[in-house]
Structure 1
């Protein structure tokens, strides 16, 4: 008998900390940048050029976490039958945290023993392990460390279905995931639906990111003879699949392999250990792409794995997505929705065959276990619109605000008005013609940047906050000149640090940016994210004396990113020994960015000895 229960998961967990109140006007440079577009097939090159986001607005960054962990209870939902037990974390993007196969006594996923955010997602905070559901734009979703609604739906024959749903805000798309475990089934079924309720097309990106334990003899298999390889050196190249690349533990450096599944090829990917046992993921045809990601065995790759899961064994990621590669976006037309069914379960193959030199035989030994999903997909669609019988977890209020504005009808995914809270209050008032209001010394509410909200702001009564929000919305729409004008008008209405800071980010003049950011910091001297930006701006403008003065004036703890900036400041002032002393004393930057080489670059400037392993986060070999 299948059951659905509400419980908690106790883990050593880092406090996510507060959201960064400064709007993310500029997205960090993507880790994956393809320079050889002209060499690629036309459809692939077009997909790589279409739909990219310049910012994650209206979201704020989640960069307030630390590396300190304490035992913490996390909300969890457990769906199980006599064969499998699936644990889902609704407060963390609906992450499928664990999939335990009872018959074999095996954990099928990589089950991270800690919750430790690190800077890999579109909003910064991301954590390794389980299955992550990525909607939005290339990268780890803005929802990955955010709550989702969860409810119970009665499935076929009364079997419970666990439904999760939310409103993805960079694309303004509602989506749902329906988890089901038929009685006696060895496969967890996950129905996914993404809707476009708008009168215009929207670029869409989806990848299910599956972490599995990496052992020395783990092999990854997919029904493909070729793959597109990205080695974090700027090129996307077609390579043959059979061989060493299918054994992740043999990889020297971080790499992506996008398997070329063509025509009527079944949609699946698997990872098996030396005994031939492992995880199989399959789907209906819409989910075309399959990918292998490895951190590699370089010092940087090993450091990243230890950073993400301290004290745990290594892992790899197998992934499934809508497009051929993870670097593309597809067009979802106005009023349309896409749906598909995924299956997750155990696979056991003859180790002599699955690890043998005959690639067709190896993949065939797994493909015989791939479930047929067309009929289960049709059965799921019969309940996809049913309303949840009960609410098991509360999501955000943003979907409710959009439904309130548009009167959208979204069967199966209710966004109750009661979910709206203080963050949505001023925007509800704007719908009634009342302008945003607040003190210039207080953090403004997050700015909504969609076209409808931007239009409302342009016609709202003017005050410093209206002009501030207009600037953010204009910037998100690509009107950078109009954004600067709006922030200047905000300052004319009332001196405020928020418009000053945005003007600093928007300025191409490094000296002007340094002066503006310092002015902003003087108005809110205890705001850590602004202090980091202001000190960095002084160094970028070749003003190390000003950076040193701001560090001296800082009243909070000098650790993490600020301690690293202290080392950079000493180096810029000519105190190489002082900069090196900070490295030798030891420090950690909790939000070191994936692909960031600032630590290794600074070490190279202060020392002639090899880079200590604790500071080596390089994705590519030096």
Structure 2
């Protein structure tokens, strides 16, 4: 009789966490501000396949998802649901409500935590749609950047593993690229390695661009080793260049603290070499990640030892708790690329995570080939390449196994898509009972061909923008809410003129005018009509203030989001008095938030009140949703004073000479 010791169980984790807050109710119409981009000139001289994938279907915006920017900086002790996969040697703790992130990977025989385990959960604006947090292993799918699912719930269930034990399955519908995916976490009995089977499926009749990077946070006091002598370097000043490994510009960059500024190093792993990456401490101990060959890319991200990098590290955790670096594995050589997944096909691969111990004299010695070979040899001893292939072959037939006990529930968007197209997705059921209020209007459109008018006055719900939903909106009765959603879908598709016409038609009969006016204001701003944009933003904010029903979360977040945008455009149009009028009508609680103290600085500077703007800096404030690569704090500081930027406001991720 075989005794199965591997278990999957529910548990809880308590740690200081800042609440996520509400979604921003305004549809994100503006282009994505992505720091990881290259223009046509920057692609010259790159390998042909890399250059092609760099230009293949880059993301234009984050619709149909919404921005998550309602979080703050106040943390309280919070209990989070976890799922634990455990055998007699390893324990993996997973957060199903936060993208299925592996929060901890603990090796029992040595008592070592193999990951950087963040002692807090502090959202910050690093995901494509805003809220993200650092630490553990995250599964990045969709497009260049941190996934929109970083702080979203995934479906989770218990599944029978290849060896007859228990396996944890996570799955969800990725909405940017409209594809389902799954992540199976499997710990064979007696194994030191967590196996992770991943599948991305394209159920559609045409090819789709896909993106995947498994992002592993490790303590920064490590040496990072990978099977490469060269890497593609990307810094925040832009540009992708090939550099030698380990030394670049006279410094060994495989030690994260030795870089001054934030940077990505995408290792150029030879085609036939085994795919792996490791991060080892001074004694030669640490974590190794390896995979089957489809997951070809390996990367090191460093924050840098400069003031800005250190400030970001403190921002994401508790000061004094130690910094981290990221080692990653992806489908392409760099994160600037997207890979074609053919119609009605899939990508599958297996990753393995576990402890690695090597001779510290070799892995930290000055002979890079010897250091790399020592890590490779010790990995071969601990987990031979053939064993990973065998584990993949054993897992692959189990990918279609229907889940057993449901352990967590994700969104209802997958269920809606399965109903629409009758997709057959064995192994990842998107049950009808997961449909919720956000899906109800779209379910009505699917069944009756009409978008229902809302029963009560409230900000509009989210818009679906995929071509099949846009086609349904085109033929739906031309009611105001349908015209609003149709315009958003047309705008996303690049048909700006038709979007404006749809919004204008909706405005003629709309009982709620401000959502349509705001969309038209964005269109005016995009077309360079700043005066008309300012007019429409002012009118939209007036209408919202008249329509606002209560001081609840939904209306407060709508007022804050629209007011912030309106003030920015009014100031750009030189209408300081009107901008001040919007400011004064915002709730006092909103004006007290750090992000609105920043708006107040902008307002005071526009009014010529330089000393008053400087006084706000002196009082101190924190902009909770400050975005990666943002330099607005430095720009406003220098507009308010001639003094050097204080460290607490310094988030620069590049040298001053590169700005």
Under TM normalisation by the shorter chain, which class is it? over 0.9
Alignment of 1:358-377 (within 5 A): 358-368=367-377, 369-370=379-380, 371=383, 372=385, 373-377=388-392
Name the SS of the counterpart of 1:86 in structure 2.
strand
How far off is 1:330 after superposition? Answer: 0.7
- Residue of structure 1 aligned with 2:257, choices 239, 242, 249: 249
CA distance in 1, matches of 2:161, 2:202: 25
How far off is 1:439 after superposition? Answer: 6.1
CA distance in 1, matches of 2:260, 2:31: 29
For this pair of structures, how many residues does the alignment match? Answer: 620
Q: After superposition, what is the alpha-carbon deviation per residue over 1:531-564, rounded to whole angstroms, capped at 9, x for unaligned?
A: 1111111122222222222112223321212111
Name the SS of the counterpart of 2:26 in structure 1.
coil
* Residue 493 (structure 2) pairs with residue 477 (structure 1): yes
Name the SS of the counterpart of 1:305 in structure 2.
helix
In the alignment, is the contact (CA less than 8 A) between 1:440 and 1:497 conserved in 2? no
5+ unaligned residues in a row in structure 2: which ranges? 546-555
CA distance in 1, matches of 2:426, 2:246: 45
2:553: which partner in 1?
none
Give TM-score, length-normalised by structure 2.
Answer: 0.93
In the alignment, is the contact (CA less than 8 A) between 1:532 and 1:561 conserved in 2? no
- Residue of structure 1 aligned with 2:424, choices 409, 412, 429: 409
* Residue 494 (structure 2) pairs with residue 460 (structure 1): no
CA distance in 1, matches of 2:136, 2:147: 15
* Residue 138 (structure 2) pairs with residue 118 (structure 1): no
1:290: which partner in 2?
298
How far off is 1:476 after superposition? Answer: 1.1
Alignment of 1:169-568 (within 5 A): 169-215=175-221, 218-243=222-247, 244-311=252-319, 312-368=321-377, 369-370=379-380, 371=383, 372=385, 373-432=388-447, 433-438=449-454, 441-494=457-510, 495-507=512-524, 508-525=528-545, 526=556, 527-557=559-589, 558=591, 559-568=593-602
Name the SS of the counterpart of 1:347 in structure 2.
strand
CA distance in 1, matches of 2:641, 2:45: 40
- Residue of structure 1 aligned with 2:38, choices 29, 34, 37: 34
In the alignment, is the contact (CA less than 8 A) between 1:276 and 1:348 conserved in 2? yes
Range 35-44 or range 302-311, more displaced? 35-44
Structure 1 runs (4+) deviating above 4 angstroms are: none
CA distance in 2, matches of 1:439, 1:241: 62
1:53: which partner in 2?
59
In the alignment, is the contact (CA less than 8 A) between 1:228 and 1:239 conserved in 2? yes
Name the SS of the counterpart of 2:588 in structure 1.
coil
How far off is 1:358 after superposition? Answer: 1.4
Give TM-score, length-normalised by structure 1.
Answer: 0.98
Range 434-443 or range 312-321, more displaced? 434-443
How far off is 1:440 after superposition? Answer: 8.3
In the alignment, is the contact (CA less than 8 A) between 2:32 and 2:59 conserved in 1? no
Name the SS of the counterpart of 2:305 in structure 1.
coil
Name the SS of the counterpart of 1:383 in structure 2.
helix
Range 153-162 or range 34-43, more displaced? 34-43
In the alignment, is the contact (CA less than 8 A) between 1:214 and 1:248 conserved in 2? yes
1:158: which partner in 2?
164
CA distance in 1, matches of 2:172, 2:32: 25
Range 423-432 or range 410-419, more displaced? 423-432
Name the SS of the counterpart of 1:384 in structure 2.
helix
Range 115-124 or range 554-563, more displaced? 554-563
* Residue 128 (structure 2) pairs with residue 128 (structure 1): no
